[in-house]
Amino acid sequence: MKNGLLSLLALVLVGLQFGCGDGGAAASAPAGGLAISGKITGAENLKVYLDLENFVATRVIAKGDIDGSGSYSMVIPDGVKPGRYRLRVGARRLGLVFDGTETNINISGALADLDKYKLPIKGSKTSQELADAMNGFYTKTLSGPQLAEKMKNASSPFVGLALGMMHFRGATEENIALHKSVFNQLKEAEINNNELSGYGGFIGQIEKQISLQRIAVGKIAPDIDLPSPKGDNFALSDYKGKVVLLDFWASWCGPCRRENPNVVKVYNKYKSKGFEVFSVSLDGLDDRTKARFGTAEQIEQQMKRSKERWEQAIQADGLVWSGHVSDLKKWNSAPAQTYGVSGIPRTFMIDRDGKIAAIGLRGADAIETELLKLL
């Protein structure tokens, strides 16, 4: 009798731990933990993985066996933090987004539907939100613009990030605007630095691709409108109708200073024939340089000295043209980023119609040869 009662009690405990739900064995998570379970038909006797996705690396945080009936269960004792995840079975993947409050999640359905986002995700509102948007895209019930709106207005910026990484990776101005909107939301949410810095780097790469597409021979040169050392603004567009050498340089750049005499030589020879030079200085301080100084006063002093060195270099090298401008942000210079400048000196020859005619000219002979084609 006693043995019979013990056996009955054991069966009840097993039933509590692995009760019938929407399919598969329902795992039980400890306090603060997360249990994921369900039944995936077509995946019998395979393995299931839960991966954490970010810009640093994708890593497995849980795994389990799928039994002969398709049932599986996984437990993450410490739970999960807000972020991007994925359920992986064989070559199929289901993107997930957790807000960190999940305790029990059930994902059940057919393996063939896993990466089509047809499986209901119970126990994670953010994952279901992502799945609804993705399924809407695949079934064409959501247009591209509608998906973009869902990306911007998602309940969690991680949902927006996941949608962006899946569908808005192309180098377009519209995609950049979407990603920057989500980036700002993530920044306000004070997420971990690795994910934020990784996303920032991804956005930077897209911006660079856009710049390369925009900055090419035959393309219209983007305008630059910045102050001179004396505070007077000069714009590149003011020089339309003339042939212009757009020259990125800095007082601290040795190769630039050695190249300056070549530019001066050509300028003095052809300035009366419609040739101008527009010099953009990368003097000043970028964010990385500012970090070396402890106080705002020190930064202000260094900025003043940098500007003085810029002015002194103009005088010392005989750069007599009026078009000298800078936002004094060094490598954070807006024009440098627009033109994809990652090293100086860097030149762009611009024709009378404002189109880029040549890139990267160095030496008086090279500059003069290209100039003569355009005058």
In tens, the pLDDT along 269-298 reads: 999 999 999 999 999 999 888 888 879 999
Model pLDDT, residue 27 = 64
Residue predicted with more confidence, 291 or 63: 63
Supply the pTM of this predicted model.
0.62
Question: With contact defined as beta carbons under 8 Å apart, do 149 and 78 qualify?
Answer: no
- Give the largest CA-CA distance in the chain: 114
In this structure, are 66 and 135 located in the same domain? yes
In this structure, are 167 and 272 located in the same domain? no
Give me 144's structure tokens: 């591209």
In this structure, are 90 and 234 located in the same domain? no
Q: Could you tell me if residue 110 is inside a domain?
A: yes
In this structure, are 196 and 249 located in the same domain? no
Cis peptide, bond prior to residue 345, ω within 30 of zero: yes
Model pLDDT, residue 9 = 38
In angstroms, the CA 55 to CA 202 distance is: 9
pLDDT digits (tens, 9 = 90+) for 66-101: 999 999 999 999 999 999 999 999 999 999 999 999
In this structure, are 104 and 237 located in the same domain? no
Give the number of domains in the chain: 2
Confidence of residue 299 (pLDDT cuts 50, 70, 90): very high
Q: Could you tell me if residue 101 is inside a domain?
A: yes
Residue predicted with more confidence, 91 or 29: 91
Of 187, 214, 241, the position where a domain reaches its end is: 214
Q: Could you tell me if residue 289 is inside a domain?
A: yes
Model pLDDT, residue 288 = 86
In angstroms, the CA 359 to CA 87 distance is: 48
SS (H, E, C) 233-293: EEEHHHHCCCEEEEEEECCCCHHHHHHHHHHHHHHHHHHHHCEEEEEEECCECCHHHHCCC
- Amino acid 362 reads R
Beta bridge mates, 355: 220
Distance between start and end Cα atoms, the chain: 109
pLDDT digits (tens, 9 = 90+) for 306-361: 999 999 999 999 999 999 999 999 999 999 988 989 899 999 999 999 999 999 99
Confidence of residue 164 (pLDDT cuts 50, 70, 90): very high
Total residue count of the chain as it appears in this document = 375
Question: With contact defined as beta carbons under 8 Å apart, do 215 and 358 qualify?
Answer: no
Report the DSSP pairing between strands 71-76 and 233-235: unpaired
Residues 6+ apart with CB under 8 A from 245: 263, 266, 267, 275, 276, 277, 278, 347, 348, 349, 350, 361, 367, 371
Residues 6+ apart with CB under 8 A from 322: 228, 234
Query: Dihedral sign, CA of 35, 40, 46, 50?
Result: negative
In this structure, are 170 and 229 located in the same domain? no
Strand order in the sheet with 83-89: 59-65, 47-53, 83-89, 92-98
In angstroms, the CA 215 to CA 218 distance is: 9
Model pLDDT, residue 239 = 96
DSSP 8-state secondary structure symbol assigned to residue 375: -
Structural domain span for residue 23:
19-214
Of 181, 214, 247, the position where a domain reaches its end is: 214
Confidence of residue 7 (pLDDT cuts 50, 70, 90): very low
Question: For residue 239, what is the domain's CATH number?
Answer: 3.40.30.10
Q: Could you tell me if residue 41 is inside a domain?
A: yes
Model pLDDT, residue 73 = 96
Q: Could you tell me if residue 108 is inside a domain?
A: yes
Model pLDDT, residue 348 = 97
In this structure, are 175 and 324 located in the same domain? no
Of 157, 183, 214, the position where a domain reaches its end is: 214
Q: Could you tell me if residue 7 is inside a domain?
A: no
Q: Could you tell me if residue 237 is inside a domain?
A: yes
pLDDT exceeds 90 at position 191: no
Model pLDDT, residue 218 = 94
In this structure, are 273 and 323 located in the same domain? yes
Q: Could you tell me if residue 14 is inside a domain?
A: no
Beta bridge mates, 315: none
Confidence of residue 6 (pLDDT cuts 50, 70, 90): very low
Beta strands in the chain (DSSP E): 34-41, 47-53, 59-65, 71-76, 83-89, 92-98, 104-107, 109-110, 121-122, 225-227, 233-235, 243-249, 275-281, 324-325, 346-350, 356-359
Confidence of residue 22 (pLDDT cuts 50, 70, 90): very low
Confidence of residue 2 (pLDDT cuts 50, 70, 90): very low
**By percentage, how much of the chain surpasses pLDDT 70?**
92
Question: For residue 121, what is the domain's CATH number?
Answer: 2.60.40.1120
pLDDT exceeds 80 at position 52: yes
In this structure, are 66 and 185 located in the same domain? yes
Neighbouring CB atoms inside 10 A of 11's CB total 10
Neighbouring CB atoms inside 10 A of 298's CB total 12
In this structure, are 201 and 296 located in the same domain? no
In this structure, are 135 and 183 located in the same domain? yes
In this structure, are 231 and 195 located in the same domain? no
